[in-house]
Amino acid sequence: MKAKRFLIIPIFLPFEGCEHRCIYCNQRLLHPENIDISPQNIKNKIYQYISTYQGDRNRTEIEVAFYGGSFTALNTERQIQLLSSVNEYFQSKLIDGIRFSTRPDKIQKDLLKTYKKLGVSTIEIGGQIFNDNILNKIKRNHTAKDIRDAVKELKSYGFRTSIHLMFGLPFSSTQDDIFSIEETIKLSPDFVRLHPTLVLKNTELEQLYLKGGYKPLSLDQTIYILRYAIKRFSQSDIKIIRVGLHNDEFLMKPGTIVAGPFHPSLKQLAMKDLD
Ligand code: SF4
């Protein structure tokens, strides 16, 4: 029997819940259209996706995803409001689940059962790198232990988990990236997202780059680390659901990417001739 495919309906909440600004991040540049999103807008957007979907519903798992902020760091009322706005679609089985991305140090244990009741199936953890010194310098303000603890906790409640990793971060080396891949494998998440670091406009990383304090990975270096990651994650049965930022009109707007190893088909490039 063919594996099910996923249809993700993304709802972007730029910087909602983010107490700190990670030095490489500029969500407003990437998702300007969804600012101040209301429950009614969310319902309309889901309806639009579902009513125009032409694939085989029996073979497709449809999830609504809240991305672009730190979901579990929002106040409880806002979290419940957002999840409830999706709930009617979940109850009527028009969607199969909800997912969101968040910081590893902001998992609220007392809300995990509520998430389950409201249809959350997958929680994606922004880990980026398993090195406390670098996490501190890039202003993540959490530790590698927070990543490990969060994933273990979420798995114990039966959530599917995903870890986001970034390669070529400032102050990091290839060894750091390889170490992070191996640490991720030890946690055995269901999925990973892999993001070679890009320098985006209006970020602290752009300032660092312009002052000569950061050298992005070259495309060759990026392919090297991606090939390692693809091999190791596939040996460990961990699905890679994304490589690189979503290649859309916002990312492609001239001036958005200041520097870094951008390529429209990075994953395909890395997989070429891989045995
Ligand atoms: S926590 Fe995520 S969304 Fe918030 S600033 Fe950092 S990378 Fe951006």
**pLDDT at residue 124 in the model:** 98
Please identify, by atom number, the ligand 1 atom nearest to the C-alpha of residue 103.
Answer: 1
Please identify, by atom number, the ligand 1 atom nearest to the C-alpha of residue 20.
Answer: 5
**pLDDT at residue 37 in the model:** 80
- Nearest residue by C-alpha to atom 8 in ligand 1: 25
Burial 222-260 (b: 16+ CB within 10 A, else e): bbbbbbbbbeebeeeebebebbbbeeeeebeeeebbbbb
**pLDDT at residue 1 in the model:** 55
* C-alpha–C-alpha distance, residues 212 and 227, integer Å: 28
**pLDDT at residue 275 in the model:** 62
* C-alpha–C-alpha distance, residues 257 and 198, integer Å: 7
**pLDDT at residue 256 in the model:** 94
Between the CA of 274 and the centroid of ligand 1 the distance, in Å, is: 33
**pLDDT at residue 250 in the model:** 84
Q: Provide, for the chain, the percentages of residues in helix, strand and coil under a 3-state DSSP scheme, each rounded to the nearest 5.
A: 45, 20, 35
* C-alpha–C-alpha distance, residues 198 and 116, integer Å: 35
* C-alpha–C-alpha distance, residues 94 and 221, integer Å: 43
The 8-class DSSP code of residue 242 comes to: E
Mean pLDDT by 10 residues, the chain (275 residues): 80 91 91 72 90 89 94 96 93 94 96 96 97 98 98 98 98 98 98 97 97 97 97 97 88 93 92 76
Between the CA of 17 and the centroid of ligand 1 the distance, in Å, is: 9
Confidence (pTM): 0.94
**pLDDT at residue 81 in the model:** 94
Q: How is residue 136 written in tokens? A: 């501190």
HSE-up of 69 (CA within 13 Å, CB side)?
26
* C-alpha–C-alpha distance, residues 3 and 161, integer Å: 19
Between the CA of 271 and the centroid of ligand 1 the distance, in Å, is: 29
The greatest distance separating any two alpha carbons of the chain, rounded to the nearest whole angstrom, comes to: 55
**pLDDT at residue 226 in the model:** 97
Question: Using a 6 Å CB cutoff, which residues line ligand 1?
Answer: 15, 18, 21-22, 25, 27, 68-70, 103, 126
- Nearest residue by C-alpha to atom 6 in ligand 1: 22
* C-alpha–C-alpha distance, residues 39 and 151, integer Å: 29
**pLDDT at residue 2 in the model:** 60
**pLDDT at residue 34 in the model:** 54
Neighbouring residues of 218: CB distance < 8 A, sequence distance ≥ 6: 261
Q: How is residue 22 written in tokens? A: 């990670």
Helices (H), 106-189: 112-117, 132-137, 144-156, 174-187
Three-state SS at 271: helix
Q: Ligand 1 pocket test: which of 20, 67, 70 has the largest number of ligand atoms within 8 Å of its C-beta?
A: 70
The 8-class DSSP code of residue 262 comes to: -
